[in-house]
Structure 1
Amino acid sequence: MSLEKLAHLSGVTPASVYLSSATEFLVDVLSLKGLLIISVDNEHDEFTEGALSTFFSYKGTPTSIVFEEEAFSKDLIINQKAIKLDHNYIDDIDEGTMSEKYDFYACPFGKLEESRLIAIAYSDINLLSKEQVEFYEFNCKILGNIFQLRSDYEFERSKLIDQSKKDALTGLFNLESFAGELKKSMQNTRSQKAMIACMVVTLDDFTSINTKYGFDLGNDVLFEIGNKLQNFVTPRDFVGRIGGDRFGIVLRNIGSDFDTKSVATRVANIFRKGLLPVGKELTASIGITVFPDDSLNSDDLIARAEIAAKIAKRTPGTHTAFYKELESNY
C-alpha cells in the first residue's frame, strides 16, 4: 500500500475500508508483525479492566492479547506520544508468549479525546529505530484524524438521509418513503402469495381545528395521532404522514379482509379518546386498499385508498370504506 494510493482512498472510500488500508500501510512500511486498534470505552481515558476493547484487527492479528492498566504510561494520554509497552503487563490468552517474543508500541490513533482509539503495533524485538517509532507516531495521528473525519462524515450523512425520509413534525415516514416501503413490501410479498392492506386515514375538517385552536395545538394533535398510530401497529407494519392531515398505515401479511376491518375498527377508536379540548371529538375517514386485489402498483394502491377515504368522509363521524366495495357499488 503506497502513501499516494492511501491519500486517494481517503476521499473516496468508506471509513472501514480506509482504516484497513491505513493499517496495511503502517504494517508494510514498518515491517510490523501485526497491528490492533483498540477502543477506550470510558469517558476518562482510563485503561481500567473492561475499559479496552478491540475495535479493529489487521489481517489475523490476535485479538486475545490482554493489556493491563499498568502497561500504559501517562505520556500516552497527556502528551499523545507513542510509547513502548512494558512486557510485564501484556499477556496473550492463547499463546502466552507474545509478550516475550515481540515489542509493543501504543499510540493514539488520531486525537484520543475525539476518536477514543489507540493503535498498538508489535514487531520483532528491537526492530524499530527511534526514527521509525516517530514515523509510527506521526502517521497514527494523521491517519487516525482522516479516519475520524471519514467516520464523522458518514455519520452525519446517514443522519441527513434518515431525516430526508421522515416527516419533520411526527418523525414518521413521509409520502415518498412510505410509498417506497410499500413498494418493497409488495415485492417481497409477491413470492409469498400473501396480502397487504394499505390504509389512508384522513382527519375530518382539520382546517377548522387549526383556525379555532391555533396551529400549535393542531401540531400537537398531529404529533399525538402519529405517536398513537406508531404504537398501535406491530413491528412488521409501518406508518407514515403522507399529507397535512393524512396518515398512511401498511399492514403486512394480512390473512383476510375481516382482519383488516378489525384493525380499522381499532384505529377508529384512537380518535375517540380526548385528542381535542373537553367536549370536542376528532373524527377521521379511513380508506382501505388491498394488495394484490386492488392494484399491483404502490402509488395506485395509495391513491385508491385516498379515494376510498373521500367516500368514507360522506358519512358523518369516523367511518371506514374499502376500495373494492366502492367499485362494486358504483
Structure 2
Amino acid sequence: MSDVRAPSPHRVAVLIQDGFIPFESGIPHRIFGKARDSDGRLLYEVITCTTDGPGPVQSDSDMVVLAPHGPEALATADTVVVPKFGSYDLTSADEVLTAPLKEALGMIRPGTRIMSICTGAFALAAAGLLDGRPATTHWAHTDDFRTLFPQVKLDPDVLFVDDGDILTSAGVASGVDLCLHVVRRDHGAAVANRVARVTVVPPHRDGGQAQFIRRPAQVSGSSGISTAIAWALEHLDQPLTLEKMAVQVSMSVRTFTRRFRQETGESPGRWLQRQRIELARNLLETTDLTIDRVAARCGFNTAQSLRLHFHAALGVTPAAYRRTFHG
C-alpha cells in the first residue's frame, strides 16, 4: 500500500516586537492552536517570531517572552498575524514602520494571508499593504489612521474586515472573532464551533461573510443610558418607543436621543433593530423555535417582517442562516 500522509498543518506566524500585548498576541495561539479535524489532528501550526530575534521580547507589562524565531520565519508562513506592539507614535508613519519591521514584512511571500489585530493595521498600512483596500482598527485611533493613511478605505464601525488575503480587526477581543472567522472560512462551522466551546467564547459573532459581522450591545455601568439599554434588551419582544426608553433614565426624548448617539455611535432606532437581529440570530442558532416564534420573541411580530429585516441586514433568510449555523 502507498504511504498516504496527512497534509501538513497550515503554518501561522505571529509577529511580535517590544511592547506587545500578551493577550492579543496569544489569541492566534489559543484559537488556531485548538483547531483539530475529526480525527483529532491539529489543523494549524502556530509559531512566534520577532523582527530582532530569535530572543527575548519585552511585553507592555513585566512579562518577557523568548521568541524562538526571527523574521525569516515569515517566509515560511501560510498566514501572518500582526497584533499591536510597541509604544510608537500613531501620528507618524515613520514611527510605525521601523526599518526592522519593514524588512520583516518584506520577507512575507506573495499570496500569504495577512491578518492584523487592533493597531497592527497601522503597520500594514504603513507598509502599503492596505492601499485602496477596506480595513478597520481600534476605534480610539481611527482619526489618526485616517490622517496617516487616507488611501485606505477605513471602516471604523465593524469588528473586522475580511478582504480575502488581508484581514484586519478592531481592538483586542475582536481578534478572537477574526481568528474564529478564519477557522470557519478554512474548515467550516463545526470546527470553529468546537474551538469556541473549548475557548468558552461566542461561536460566531462573525458568521461567514462581512455582512454577518456583529457588534456587541454596549452596556456600561457608568453610562448615562445604561439603564435604558439594559431595560430595552429585556423587552425586545415588545413595541419599544423613544419615550419608553427615555423614561427609564428620566430624560427627555431629545436629551436621550443625543446622549444615545454620543455613547453608542448610532441612533436608538438603528440600535434596536440591530439588537433584534442579534437576538434572532441567537435563537436561530440555539433553539428549534419556528420562524414565527422567533419573530415574536424579537419584536418583529410576523415571520415576513423578520425575513425582510434579517435579509436586509445579513443578506440571507432566517431559514438559510439556521441551516448554516444551527447546532
Give the TM-score taking structure 2 as reference length: 0.21
Q: Which has the higher strand share?
A: 1
Give the TM-score taking structure 1 as reference length: 0.21
- Which one has the largest radius of gyration? 1
